[in-house]
Chain A
Amino acid sequence: MADHCSQTRERIWNKTMPATVARAGADQNRNFMSERNYWNRMRRNKMSRRSLLRASARAGVGAAGIALVGCGDDDDDQSATQVQQAQQQQQQQAAQPQQQQQQQADAQAQQAEQQDQPAAEQQAQQQEQQAAQAQAQAQQTAVARVGELNVPDLSGSFSQLDPVTGSGGNDHQHLWVGHDNLVGYDTDLVPDTSRSLAESWEVSDDGLKIIFTIRPNVLFHDGEPLNAEAVKTHILRARDLPEGNTGADVQFIDSVDTPDELTAVFNMKQPFAPLLRILGDRAGMVVSPKAIAEKDVYIDRSPVGAGAFKFVEEIVDDRLVFEAFDDYWQPGHPKINKITWHLGRTSDQAINGMIAGEYNAQFSPDSAQVERLTEAGLTYETRPTNWTQRYWLNMRMEPWTNPHLRRAVNWAVDKQALLDVVWNGQGIPAHWGWLGPATGPDHDPNYEGYIFNPDKVREELALAGHPDGFEFEMNTFSGAQAIAHDEFIAASLAQFGITAKLNPKPSPAFWREFWDLEVSGHSSSMSVRADVWQQLAFVHDPLSQSRNVVPEDENDPDRKELVRLLGEVGAEFDPDQRSIKIQELNRAMDTAAWGLNFFHHFARTAHAENVTYPLFADAKPHWGQGDVTITA
């Protein structure tokens, strides 16, 4: 058994290791992630040397500790940029095998060319903005906002409106409306200062210090100002609150220094590259320190953030209302007055309501009913994402302790047919392991994962000692489409004598049972996390929720390998190196078959013709900031 396992891995390694492959991937996906290295971008463009020096001095950090590479708003010193790039290249070259060097340099040059243009534009924009800001302060109430967003909420319930204590993948649509992030990301999940509460950020060479310059003149909904102290209070709560669910995300932050009003220095326990993007998720949604101090509440249903919309009311299972925040820091934003979620609607109620004009925007409408929406004159839009429909396995429980059985079920499902029959083709089959084409440079187009193959199923079943199949209990969500999905899978498995005993459960129950080891697996989806690392760590990191799901034996070869790779990815700041390592991790994870990935959903939305908002690669609705426009 072990032999087979390592053989497979070797084969994959040989096939995909050359750097050219990674290059090809990167080129192909250039449009996805035009500016991949947001750490570098920041160094070149977003940070003035002066402010950096000031910050670092106050933080008690010697200039030597930090790569002194800034240039920016008030500094047109191109040579500094070049110096920095050269330094970087040197570092990278030293670390890389000879054969990759040239390509690497090419890629970087190319990247730099691409980057400079938009960066300059952005800079100009920002200056303009700042000039406008002073005027805007006075005018802000005069901003003309048009329309309201009315959204049917299929999830039935979100967990919490407190970013730290909540945990549901459906929460974000509400969270991002009420909260802005310390680091916000753009539609391709690239950190973007124009969407962030931090004006700029800087990381030390050793990756152990990150310095954030906080945007001035930002107010929380309760009137409190945003400052370094507020960021500190929030981050420490996100890390330490026993009832919190963001602890794992920010576990590597050791302490936070606040040398001045608008500078926050994160001291890291170890270098952790995913942190910036992670701050685009829950952990970075800064909550008013006053609200934290006053409430000491684990249940936060009246959030106080610094987002474009202010919480108005929640009526359980009926509606959730946010209205435009007048003192929002981005002038002219938000562009609409109000967002109302109509909670707990069934998919059919949602569609009928859309058609009747009761709602004007819906996320993830029932894929089987898309035609009805378009026939009714609604706009339907999609974009590929890495939101993955999967079957989660517990590697500690029978029958999934046996890797051959895990692989057997992986080979046994025709993913494209599943997608077509049950989901109206609204996705991309997961034929490349965990990371589909939507993950851009992290996607590995040359890796071939589990693609329906009856011979392989029988082969693995025989290797497992169950040539005639086996039986397992399959927890599933009790929604109708979910049941159809699982019945399709059960029917597919039945061809090989594998009996999946379906057990539909309401949504909170099957997750809890999975974490509590009451059931060996369950069928649901994995939402996109801000950083790929987060998504992969969610199921494979013994430090995360999944601590009881990964193989118990610390010397289990799969566990050892995956933990090692996860650590390497986490410590890698260079984008290209990182992608190579992520691809390696993806192959290893897929080979270990810790779960079944069926397909990657499209981000799908339907809205009235006069409504516009961008679709993000995280497949979640972003309706905060100035993202939604409604024309009268």
Chain B
Amino acid sequence: MATAPERTCSAKLGSVRNFIIRRVLATIPVLILISVVTFVALRLLPGSPGSAILGPEADPAAVEALNERLGWYDPIYEQYADWIAGVFQGDFGYSQRSNDPVGPLIASRLEATLQLGIMSLALALLIAIPIGAIAGAKPGTPFDYGLTFFAVIGVSVPNFWLAMLLVIIFALELGWFPTQGFTPFFEDPTANLKGMILPAFAIGVALAGNLARQVRASMVEVMQQDYVRTARAKGLRERSVLVRHGFRNALIPVVTVLGLQTSLVVGGAIVIESFFGLPGVGKLIIDSILFSEIPTVQALAVMIALGVAAINLIVDISYAYLDPRIRYS
């Protein structure tokens, strides 16, 4: 699919701009759709804000009284209108468990998740690029098979099981890392990194598997291209061919999978943050779902969708910039 990128000259920037505008416009209805669908769907969650606030053994009459006060029985379109009007003013409602505004609540959880995401992605790239590039440079060799096999194992291991193994070996047996907990980086960088390595690894391995396969496939393809053949015919050293013509071009399509990885990072964070007791967005999601805390789930769903859409948009744009053929399709 992907070939060597053309140098983008200024004449083509206009089409890039058009492309960006088209993509942004296409994203808007998706976001509206997501907000409406989640808003309606979350009404299907069992329970009500009243029962979420008042707790498990609450008297049903008390729950009903509170629901009434919270406007839970108002028509759903009114509730949606209220909510969306609030969102545009940065007001996502209040957490039912803590009475904190949801926006700042989520913001306070971003630190752990962002760090986890960046560390796991970095770890994944560190593992995946060499493995994928080497395997893809010599397709069909036992070397390729071995590395590819490892990459496939990476995507086949459930992250939570890997986390359990890591905890058994590195935390309980060897005592190198804590089993749980989060220290903010700026409080104590060493403790922070110690605590984040196992979680980042648990998520990063699956990402690495995905990325390595993509790098390999892309490498294999690039190495069959005419310009690589030309480079070889020119008498360039194999190593130079691999690095300058093969590897660099092979990384371009990998950018697209990076977008998909965001989704995997968030998915991984949901399970792994709970497992390691990290106060991140992932843990917030699952706790909020378990406690039927609708304002938080609603805000998180929209924000995650927005985040994923934004990253896909950036990926698409950068890809379009790098590979002009996309613009015309």
B56 touches A508 (CB 8 A): yes
**Which residues from chain B contact A348 at a C-beta distance below 8 Å?**
179
Give chain B's interface residues, CB within 8 Å of chain A.
46-47, 50-63, 65-66, 69, 94-100, 105, 108, 171-172, 178-181, 277, 279, 283-284, 287, 290-292
Q: Of A157, A158, A300, A508, which is within 8 A of B51 by CB?
A: A508
Q: Of A508, A544, A548, which is within 8 A of B52 by CB?
A: A508
**Which residues from chain A contact B108 at a C-beta distance below 8 Å?**
315
Residue among A159, A316, A318 with max Cβ neighbours from chain B (10 Å): A316
Residue A516 interfacial (CB < 8 Å): yes
**Please, how many angstroms separate the alpha-carbon atoms of A476 and B5 in the complex?**
58
Residue A452 interfacial (CB < 8 Å): no
**Please, how many angstroms separate the alpha-carbon atoms of A506 and B287 in the complex?**
10
A160 touches B55 (CB 8 A): yes
Shortest beta-carbon distance, A281 to chain B, in Å? 13
Residue A441 interfacial (CB < 8 Å): no
> Which chain A residues (221-264) contact chain B, with CB distance < 8 Å?
242-245, 247-248
Shortest beta-carbon distance, B208 to chain A, in Å? 27
**Please, how many angstroms separate the alpha-carbon atoms of A243 and B51 in the complex?**
10
**Please, how many angstroms separate the alpha-carbon atoms of A298 and B53 in the complex?**
9
Q: Choose, from A161-169, A585-593, A607-615, the stretch at the interface.
A: A161-169
B62 touches A506 (CB 8 A): no
Q: Which residue of A lies closest to B278 (CB)?
A: A318
B55 touches A508 (CB 8 A): yes
Residue A507 interfacial (CB < 8 Å): yes
**Which residues from chain B contact A158 at a C-beta distance below 8 Å?**
55
Q: Of B54, B94, B97, B284, which is within 8 A of A165 by CB?
A: B54
Interface string of A499-518 (1 = CB under 8 A from B): 00000001111011101100
**Please, how many angstroms separate the alpha-carbon atoms of A548 and B66 in the complex?**
19
Shortest beta-carbon distance, A490 to chain B, in Å? 23
**Please, how many angstroms separate the alpha-carbon atoms of A519 and B98 in the complex?**
29
Q: List 9 A-B contacts (CB under 8 A).
A: A157-B97, A159-B54, A160-B55, A165-B62, A171-B55, A301-B100, A314-B98, A317-B279, A356-B179
Residue among B61, B66, B99 with max Cβ neighbours from chain A (10 Å): B99
**Which residues from chain B contact A165 at a C-beta distance below 8 Å?**
53-54, 62
Q: Of A169, A243, A316, A344, which is within 8 A of B100 by CB?
A: A316
**Which residues from chain B contact A515 at a C-beta distance below 8 Å?**
60
Shortest beta-carbon distance, A250 to chain B, in Å? 13
Shortest beta-carbon distance, B27 to chain A, in Å? 31
Q: Of A245, A301, A358, which is within 8 A of B57 by CB?
A: A245
> Which chain A residues (445-500) contact chain B, with CB distance < 8 Å?
none
**Which residues from chain B contact A358 at a C-beta distance below 8 Å?**
178, 181
**Which residues from chain B contact A575 at a C-beta distance below 8 Å?**
none
Please list the 6 inter-chain residue pairs (A to B) with the smallest Cβ-Cβ separation, ordered nearest first.
A159-B55, A242-B65, A511-B56, A167-B55, A506-B290, A167-B58
Shortest beta-carbon distance, B175 to chain A, in Å? 9
Interface string of A335-370 (1 = CB under 8 A from B): 000000000111011001100101000000000000
Shortest beta-carbon distance, B213 to chain A, in Å? 33
**Please, how many angstroms separate the alpha-carbon atoms of A314 and B65 in the complex?**
26
Residue A109 interfacial (CB < 8 Å): no
Residue A332 interfacial (CB < 8 Å): no
Q: Of B65, B178, B291, which is within 8 A of A508 by CB?
A: B291
B54 touches A167 (CB 8 A): yes
**Please, how many angstroms separate the alpha-carbon atoms of A344 and B182 in the complex?**
13
With A157-B97, A157-B291, A316-B95 in contact, is A509–B47 under 8 Å at CB? yes
**Which residues from chain B contact A508 at a C-beta distance below 8 Å?**
47, 51-52, 55-56, 290-292
**Please, how many angstroms separate the alpha-carbon atoms of A544 and B58 in the complex?**
10
B47 touches A512 (CB 8 A): yes
Shortest beta-carbon distance, A6 to chain B, in Å? 33
Shortest beta-carbon distance, B269 to chain A, in Å? 14
B291 touches A506 (CB 8 A): yes
A to B contact number (C-beta, < 8 Å)? 132
**Please, how many angstroms separate the alpha-carbon atoms of A516 and B50 in the complex?**
13
A509 touches B46 (CB 8 A): yes
With A356-B178, A358-B181 in contact, is A316–B55 under 8 Å at CB? no
Q: Of A171, A346, A513, which is within 8 A of B46 by CB?
A: A513
Shortest beta-carbon distance, B284 to chain A, in Å? 7
A residues contacting the other copy or chain, number (CB 8 A): 48
Residue among A160, A317, A349, A356 with max Cβ neighbours from chain B (10 Å): A317
Q: Of A243, A315, A349, which is within 8 A of B62 by CB?
A: A243
A242 touches B62 (CB 8 A): yes
B287 touches A156 (CB 8 A): yes
Q: Which residue of A lies closest to B105 (CB)?
A: A316
Shortest beta-carbon distance, B71 to chain A, in Å? 13
B287 touches A317 (CB 8 A): yes
With A159-B55, A344-B287 in contact, is A509–B292 under 8 Å at CB? yes
Q: Of B52, B59, B95, which is within 8 A of A545 by CB?
A: B59
Residue among B52, B62, B178, B287 with max Cβ neighbours from chain A (10 Å): B62
**Which residues from chain A contact B181 at a C-beta distance below 8 Å?**
349, 353, 358
Residue among B50, B94, B291 with max Cβ neighbours from chain A (10 Å): B291
Other A-B pairs beyond A171-B55, A545-B58, 9, CB < 8 Å: A157-B287, A159-B55, A167-B59, A245-B62, A299-B53, A299-B96, A352-B180, A358-B181, A509-B47
B57 touches A545 (CB 8 A): yes
Q: Which residue of B lies closest to A346 (CB)?
A: B277
Q: Of A247, A317, A345, which is within 8 A of B59 by CB?
A: A247
Shortest beta-carbon distance, A248 to chain B, in Å? 7
With A317-B287, A356-B178, A509-B292 in contact, is A168–B60 under 8 Å at CB? no
> Which chain A residues (555-585) contact chain B, with CB distance < 8 Å?
none
A166 touches B55 (CB 8 A): yes
**Please, how many angstroms separate the alpha-carbon atoms of A345 and B203 in the complex?**
20
Residue A297 interfacial (CB < 8 Å): yes
**Which residues from chain A contact B105 at a C-beta distance below 8 Å?**
316
A349 touches B47 (CB 8 A): no
**Which residues from chain B contact A157 at a C-beta distance below 8 Å?**
97, 287, 291
B57 touches A349 (CB 8 A): no
Shortest beta-carbon distance, B240 to chain A, in Å? 52
A299 touches B279 (CB 8 A): no
With A159-B58, A515-B60 in contact, is A349–B96 under 8 Å at CB? no
**Please, how many angstroms separate the alpha-carbon atoms of A581 and B252 in the complex?**
82
Shortest beta-carbon distance, B219 to chain A, in Å? 42
Residue among A160, A167, A507, A508 with max Cβ neighbours from chain B (10 Å): A508
**Which residues from chain B contact A353 at a C-beta distance below 8 Å?**
179-181
A511 touches B62 (CB 8 A): no
B99 touches A301 (CB 8 A): yes
B55 touches A349 (CB 8 A): no
**Which residues from chain B contact A316 at a C-beta distance below 8 Å?**
95, 97-98, 100, 105, 284, 287
**Please, how many angstroms separate the alpha-carbon atoms of A318 and B157 in the complex?**
29
Interface string of A129-163 (1 = CB under 8 A from B): 00000000000000000000000000011111000
**Please, how many angstroms separate the alpha-carbon atoms of A318 and B58 in the complex?**
24
**Please, how many angstroms separate the alpha-carbon atoms of A346 and B287 in the complex?**
13
Residue among A160, A346, A512 with max Cβ neighbours from chain B (10 Å): A512
**Which residues from chain A contact B178 at a C-beta distance below 8 Å?**
356, 358
**Please, how many angstroms separate the alpha-carbon atoms of A358 and B171 in the complex?**
14
**Which residues from chain A contact B284 at a C-beta distance below 8 Å?**
316-317
Q: Which residue of B lies closest to A300 (CB)?
A: B99
**Please, how many angstroms separate the alpha-carbon atoms of A516 and B97 in the complex?**
21
Shortest beta-carbon distance, B196 to chain A, in Å? 16
Shortest beta-carbon distance, A396 to chain B, in Å? 14
B59 touches A160 (CB 8 A): no
Shortest beta-carbon distance, A433 to chain B, in Å? 22
With A316-B105, A352-B179 in contact, is A245–B277 under 8 Å at CB? no
**Please, how many angstroms separate the alpha-carbon atoms of A352 and B100 in the complex?**
30
A345 touches B291 (CB 8 A): no
**Please, how many angstroms separate the alpha-carbon atoms of A66 and B51 in the complex?**
43
**Which residues from chain B contact A352 at a C-beta distance below 8 Å?**
171-172, 179-180
